Amino acid sequence: MSSIVNPHDHGHDDHHGAPSGFKRWLFTTNHKDIGSLYLIFALAMFIIGGAMAMVIRAELFQPGLQLVDPHFFNQMTTVHGLIMVFGAVMPAFTGLANWMIPMMIGAPDMALPRMNNWSFWILPFAFAMLLFSLFMEGGGPAFGWTFYAPLSTTYSNDNTALFVFAVHIMGISSIMGAINVVVTIVNLRAPGMTWMKLPLFVWTWLITAFLLIAVMPVLAGAVTMVLTDKYFGTSFFDAAGGGDPVMFQHIFWFFGHPEVYIMILPAFGVISTIVPTFSHKKLFGYASMVYATASIALLSFVVWAHHMFTTGMPLAGELFFMYATMLISVPTGVKVFNWVATMWRGAISFEVPMLFSIAFIVLFTLGGFSGLMLAITPADFQYHDTYFVVAHFHYVLVTGAVFSIMAAAYYWLPKWTGHMFNETLAKWHFWLSLISVNVLFFPMHFVGLAGMPRRIPDYALQFADFNAIISIGGFAFGLSQLLFVYVVYRCVKGGDAAPAKVWDGAEGLEWEVPSPAPYHTFSTPPEIK
Amino acid sequence: MHSALLKKLIIACLAMFAFAFALVPLYDVFCQVTGLNGKPSLEVAKASSRVDENRLVDVSFTTHAQQGAPFDVSAEQFKVTVKPGEVTKVAFSAANLSQQARVMQAIPSVSPGIASKYLHKMACFCFNQQPMKAGEKQDFELMFYVDTALPSEIEELTLSYTLFDITEQSQQVALEASQDEPTSMETSDE
Amino acid sequence: MKAYRFAVGWLAAMLPTAALSNSDYNMRQGVTDISQQVYDLHMTIFLICCAIGVVVFAIMFWAIIHHRKSKGVTPAQFHESTKVEILWTAIPFVILIAMAVPATKTLIAMEDTSKADITIKVTGSQWKWHYEYMGEGVDFYSVMSTSQDQISDKEAKGENYLLEVDKPLVIPTGKKVRFLMTSDDVIHSWWVPDFAVKKDANPGFINEAWTRVNDEGIYRGQCAELCGKDHGFMPVVVEAKSPEDFDVWLASQKSAKLEAEQASAALLDQTLPKDELMAEGETVYMAYCAACHQPTGLGLPGVFPAMKGSPVVTGPINDHIDIILHGRPGTAMQAFAKQLSIKQIAGVVTFKRNTWGNDTGDVVQPSQVQARLDAKQEEGK
C-alpha cells in the first residue's frame, strides 16, 4: 500500500502536480496537509462553538430574559455541545494524529491517504448542514446534544432530519479517521518499532481508534432510530408502540461514555509526551501508562448507566454502575501519579507547552475528583443535571482535552511551520486562559450544589452573583482564545527559524526531520534501535 | 497489505451498527430479567400453584391517558390487598370520550421496577389493542396474582396503565385487533 | 512556632467545613433523614478528594519548585518502580472501598419499598406538574406563577422569582409519602433538593420515590431534565404541614372541588357577557397558552402555530373547542379538559376568536363547552 505514497526523498511534491491554491487542499492525500486542514477546521469550529457559549453566558449574565428567547437558548446549548465535541475536540485530535502518528512511527504517510482526504472533506458539509438548520423556520436542534427521545422525536421540529444527517456524516468521518489510524499503526511502523517502543501518543490514539470503531456505529444506530421514529412511524422509543424512551438513553450512553474517553485518551498521550520533554527525564512507568489507558477504555463500556441514575433502576443496577465507575479512578489515578513521578527529581523547564500540561494535570484531576463524586449514586441524585455536572465536564473537556490540544499545538507548531512562536504572547495566552477558565468554571460547582439545574435560560435570584462572575470569566476566556488564533497566525507567517530538535529534552522520530517537516518524510523507513 | 485489516475493521463497524439495533430486543430481555424500568411481561401467565397465606401485599392501580388520548379508564378499587399466589380479579371501566371510533392501547408499568417480574397477569386489556366506538363505555377485567417469590422488602406495588390513542397506527387491523396478535406492537411477539 | 502550627492546622480543618456547611455554596442538608445522609456522604467524599488532591499537588509543586532546570539540577534517571506502582494502584483501591461502604448504605436506605402512608402521583407535562392524591379524589395542576413581566425585566423580580407556583403540593410531615412519577409528553425530572429526591418522569412508565419530611415549611425545586422550551420555568413547590393541618387542608380541597363542580353546573344556564368572557380568556391565555403561542398570538414559526388568522381559530367553533379539550395527539398541544373549567375554556375560545385581528365576533358560552364534553356518538362525524 505504501506504493500509493510516492517514495521520493525530497521535500517537493511531484505526485499530483505542483501544490498550489485551493486544489492542493481539496485533492491532497498528504497526511501533513490533511492534518493541517483538520486543525484549522477544529480551530474555526472552536471559535464558532465558543461564540455560541458567549451567547449563552450573555443571556445568563443576569436573571430575566434579555437577549434570546428560551427556544433559541436551547438551540445554542445543543449546537454548542455538538460543535465542541464533534467539530472542535475530535477533529483537533484527528489532526494531531494525522500530522504526528506517521512521523512518530517512521511511516511515509497514513496508510489510506485517499480515505483520509474523504474523511476530512465530508466534515465541513456536516457542520454546514447543522449550522444551516439554525436559520431555517423553526430553528435547529433544541433538545440538548444528548437528544433524548421523545423530545427529539415526537416533540422536535422538522429540521431534525438535518441534525440526524449531520451526525451521520460526522460519525462516518470519525470512523474513517479511526480506521486509518489503526491500519497505519498496525502496518506502517518502521522496522524495529515494536509495540512497547511506540510513543504514548500513538498508543493512546490506537486505543481511541478502537473505541471510535466500537461506538460511533452505535451512535449512528441511535440517530437512525430517532429518524425512523420521527418520520417513518417506528416506535423504538415510543411507549405507545411498545418502545421505551429510557432505552434511548441506554443506547446513547453506550456510545456516550466511551465517547468521553475518546476525547481524553489522546490528551493523556499528549501530556505523556510533553511532561518528560520539559522534565528532561524519561516518562515514569511507560508500561503501566499503556495498561492504564487500555483498562480505562475497557471499563468505559460498562459504566454508561451512571448518566442515568435518576431514570429509575433496580438497586443492583445502581450499585453495579456506581462501583464500576468508581473503579475508573484507579487507572486514571495511576496516570496522574506517573506524570508527577516523571516530574519528580527531573530538571523542569517551563516553556508554554509545559505550562499547559501542568495546568492540565491539576485541573483535569479536579474534574476527575468531581467525577468521582458524581459516581456516588445517592449524591448523584442531588448533582445530576445541575451546574455541578456542567462544571465537571468542562473541567475535563476544556482544561482537560482543550488545554492538551493547546499544549500539543505549541509543542509541535515550530515543527509544522518551521518558526518559533512568540513566546511572550503565548505566555500571556496561557495565563489569561488559566485564570479566566477558573473564574468561568469553578463557581459552577457552587451554583450546581446550591441547586441550579443545567440547560435553563433564566434562574432564581440566589444564583445571580455567581452567574455574573461565571459570565465575566466566560467572556475573558473567549477573548483570550483570540490571542491564541493570533499567535498561531503569526507563527505560520514567520518568526525565528526553528531547529530540527525544537525542545532540547524532546525524544522521538519527529525531531529527527528538519523543521518545518518536509512534505514527505520517512519515505525510506528509519532504523529503530 | 492493508486490505485484510481494512476489511476486518469495516466488518467491525458494520457489526457495531447492527449491534445498536440488536440492543432493542436485548434491552427487552434485559428488562424482563432484571425488572429494569418496570416493564412487565405482556405474556399471559399461568396460574400459581401455591398461595402464601402468611403475607399481604398492597397492589394499587392507576391509569393515565397520554396527552390527547380521549380515554378514561379507572379501576373499581384504587387498592387491593392480596396474598402472594392468590388470583385476584379487578374490574376496570373504560370510556371513549371522543366522538369518533378510537383504538386504545394500554401500556402497563410496575413500580418498584423490580416487582414487575413478580406481577403475573392472566387476563388484561393491555394484551390487546382495544377498539372503542365513539362515546362507548366498556368493562374490562384484570386477572393477576403476585408471585410468592416477591422479595419480602416489597410491601406495596403499583400497576400503572398509560393509555395511548393508536387509531392511526392500527387503522387496518382495528377490526380484528381484539382476536389477533396486534401487529404494530413490537414487544408482544415474545 | 507551636501556635503557628496550631493555627494552620485549625484553619485547614475548619475552612472547608465552616465555609461550606449549608451555605449558598454547598449542597443543602435538607429536611429529611435521607437528605442529611446524602449531605454527609457528599462532604465525606469531598473531603477525601481534597485530602488526596493536597497530597498529590503538594508533591507536584514541590517538584516544580525544587526540581527546576533553572536551579541547575541534573535530572534523575529512574523511570519505573514496580513497587511504587503497585502501591499507588492499591491505595486508591482501599480508599474507594472506604467510599463505597457509606454510599451503599445510603443507597439501600433510599430504595425503601415498605408501605407508605400516602401516595401522590406526580405527572409532568410541558411545562407544569400535576399532583394526584391517590385514593382521595383530589388532584390539581401546579403552574409557575412568576409573571411574564418579571421575566422580561418590566417589573421588579420577587423573592421567589421562578420558584413560585399557583398551587403548591401539600404533604404531611413525619409520614412516609410515596411519589409515583410519570409524564404526559417528554421526559421531566421532579426534584426537591431539600428532600434529596430527584426522579425522572418517563412517558408511558412509572417511577417511584419517597420522602419523610421532618420540618414544616415550604421547599422549592425545579424540573431537572431538559423538556423543551420552558424547561427553566417549571418549578416544584412543596409545602409540608403538620398531619393535622394536612388533614384539614385535604378536606377543604375535597369540598372546594364539590363547590367548583356546582359552580360549573350553575354556569350552564347562564349567558355571560362578552366582556367578562374576554377578560377571563385573556387571563387564561397568558397563563396557559402564551408560553407556546406567544402573547402576540404569532406563535413560533415552524414550532408552535400562530393563533392570528389560524384556520382552527377562525373555523367552526366546535372543532376549536374540541382541540382545546382533547389536544392534538403527537404534538405539544395538550388536552385541557381537566386543567381548565368550562368557563375558562369558554373565555379563552372567545378571546382567541376576537383578538389579534381575528374578528369572528363569536361569543362562546360555558354551556357550549359542556355540550362538547358531553357529546356522544349521535353528534359524531
pLDDT in tens, A285-299: 999 999 999 999 999
Q: Bigger pLDDT: B95 or A129?
A: A129
Q: What is the pLDDT of residue C271?
A: 82
Query: pLDDT > 70: what percent of chain B?
Result: 84
Mean of pLDDT over chain B: 80
Q: Which residues of C touch B115 (CB under 8 A)?
A: 113
Q: Are B173 and B183 in contact (CB under 8 A)?
A: yes
The ranges assigned to domains in chain C are 12-110, 118-262, 268-379
Cα dihedral C227→A49→A359→A411 (10° resolution)? 150
Q: Do B25 and B54 have their domain in common?
A: no
Q: Do B42 and B125 have their domain in common?
A: yes
**CA nearest B10 in A: which residue?**
A179
Q: Which amino acid is at B28?
A: D
- Measured CA to CA, the distance from residue B91 to residue A491 in angstroms comes to 79
Tell me phi and psi for residue A478, to 5 degrees.
-60, -45
The CATH architecture to which C268-379 belongs is: Orthogonal Bundle (1.10)
- Cross-chain CB nearest to C326 (options B98, B115, B162): B98
Q: Do B176 and B101 have their domain in common?
A: yes
Q: Do B145 and B161 have their domain in common?
A: yes
Q: What is the pLDDT of residue A476?
A: 96
Tell me phi and psi for residue A344, to 5 degrees.
-60, 125
Q: What is the pLDDT of residue B149?
A: 86
Q: Do B51 and B27 have their domain in common?
A: no
- Measured CA to CA, the distance from residue A152 to residue C189 in angstroms comes to 17
Cβ within 8 Å, pair A214-B16: yes
Domain annotation covers residue B125: yes
Residue B131 has pLDDT above 90, yes or no: no
Of the pLDDT bands very low, low, confident and very high (cuts 50, 70, 90), residue A45 is very high
Q: Which residues of A touch B2 (CB under 8 A)?
A: 1, 111-112, 183, 187
Of the pLDDT bands very low, low, confident and very high (cuts 50, 70, 90), residue C344 is confident
- Measured CA to CA, the distance from residue C152 to residue C143 in angstroms comes to 18
Of the pLDDT bands very low, low, confident and very high (cuts 50, 70, 90), residue A384 is very high
Q: Do B72 and B101 have their domain in common?
A: yes
Q: Which helix (H) or strand (E) holds C39?
A: helix C33-66
Cβ within 8 Å, pair B100-C381: yes
Residue A25 has pLDDT above 80, yes or no: yes
Mean of pLDDT over chain A: 92
B33 close contact with A: CB closer than 8 A: no
Q: Which residues of B touch A315 (CB under 8 A)?
A: 114
CA distances from A409 to A94, A263, C213 (A): 13, 16, 55
Q: Do B60 and B5 have their domain in common?
A: no
- Measured CA to CA, the distance from residue C224 to residue C232 in angstroms comes to 9
CA distance B119 to chain A (A): 16
Of the pLDDT bands very low, low, confident and very high (cuts 50, 70, 90), residue C100 is very high
pLDDT tens track for C370-379:
888 776 433 4
**CA nearest C305 in A: which residue?**
A138
- Measured CA to CA, the distance from residue C204 to residue A246 in angstroms comes to 10
C93 close contact with A: CB closer than 8 A: yes
Set of cell numbers at residue A73: 437558548
Domain annotation covers residue B190: no
Of the pLDDT bands very low, low, confident and very high (cuts 50, 70, 90), residue C253 is very high
pLDDT tens track for A55-72:
999 999 999 999 999 999
CA distance A212 to chain B (A): 9
Set of cell numbers at residue A412: 509541535
Q: How many domains does chain B have?
A: 2
Which of the residues of A are catalytic? 80, 109, 145, 173-174, 257, 259, 261, 272, 306-307, 332, 335, 454
Q: What is the pLDDT of residue A241?
A: 81
Of the pLDDT bands very low, low, confident and very high (cuts 50, 70, 90), residue A1 is very low
pLDDT tens track for B50-72:
788 888 888 989 988 887 788 88
C165 close contact with A: CB closer than 8 A: no
Overall average pLDDT of the A328-332 stretch: 94
Overall average pLDDT of the A305-312 stretch: 92
Q: Which helix (H) or strand (E) holds A260?
A: helix A245-279
CA distance B180 to chain C (A): 23
Cβ within 8 Å, pair C379-B133: no
Residue C116 has pLDDT above 50, yes or no: yes
- Cross-chain CB nearest to A66 (options C52, C153, C232): C153
- Residues facing residue C211 across a β-bridge: C177
The CATH architecture to which C12-110 belongs is: Orthogonal Bundle (1.10)
Q: Could you tell me which CATH number the domain at C118-262 has?
A: 2.60.40.420
pLDDT tens track for A443-452:
999 999 999 9
Of the pLDDT bands very low, low, confident and very high (cuts 50, 70, 90), residue A398 is very high
**For chain A, which domains are there?**
33-512 (1.20.210.10)
Lowest mean pLDDT among A81-85, B143-147, C159-163: B143-147
pLDDT tens track for A68-119:
999 999 999 999 999 999 999 999 999 999 999 999 999 999 999 999 999 9
Residue B159 has pLDDT above 70, yes or no: yes
Domain annotation covers residue B187: no
Of the pLDDT bands very low, low, confident and very high (cuts 50, 70, 90), residue B190 is very low
Q: Which residues of C touch B66 (CB under 8 A)?
A: 184, 203-204, 329
Q: What is the pLDDT of residue B180?
A: 45
Q: Do B27 and B60 have their domain in common?
A: no
pLDDT tens track for A124-151:
999 999 999 999 988 899 999 999 989 9
Of the pLDDT bands very low, low, confident and very high (cuts 50, 70, 90), residue C8 is low
Q: Do B44 and B30 have their domain in common?
A: no
**CA nearest A115 in B: which residue?**
B6
SS (H, E, C) A407-468: HHHHHHHHHHHCECCCHHHHHHHHHHHHHHHHHHHHHHHHHHHHCCECCCCCCCHHHHHHHH
- Measured CA to CA, the distance from residue C333 to residue C325 in angstroms comes to 10
Overall average pLDDT of the A38-43 stretch: 96
Q: How many CB atoms lie within 10 A of CB C65?
A: 10
| CATH classification of the domain holding B79 | 2.60.370.10
Lowest mean pLDDT among A219-223, B138-142, C42-46: B138-142
DSSP secondary structure of A127-149 = HHHHHHHTTSTT-S--STTTT-T
Q: Do B149 and B178 have their domain in common?
A: yes
Provide the domain limits for residue B87.
37-182
Which residues of B make CB contacts under 8 Å with C?
37-39, 58, 60, 62, 64-70, 78-79, 97-100, 107, 109-113, 115, 133-136, 153-158, 160, 162, 164-165
ipTM over 0.85: yes
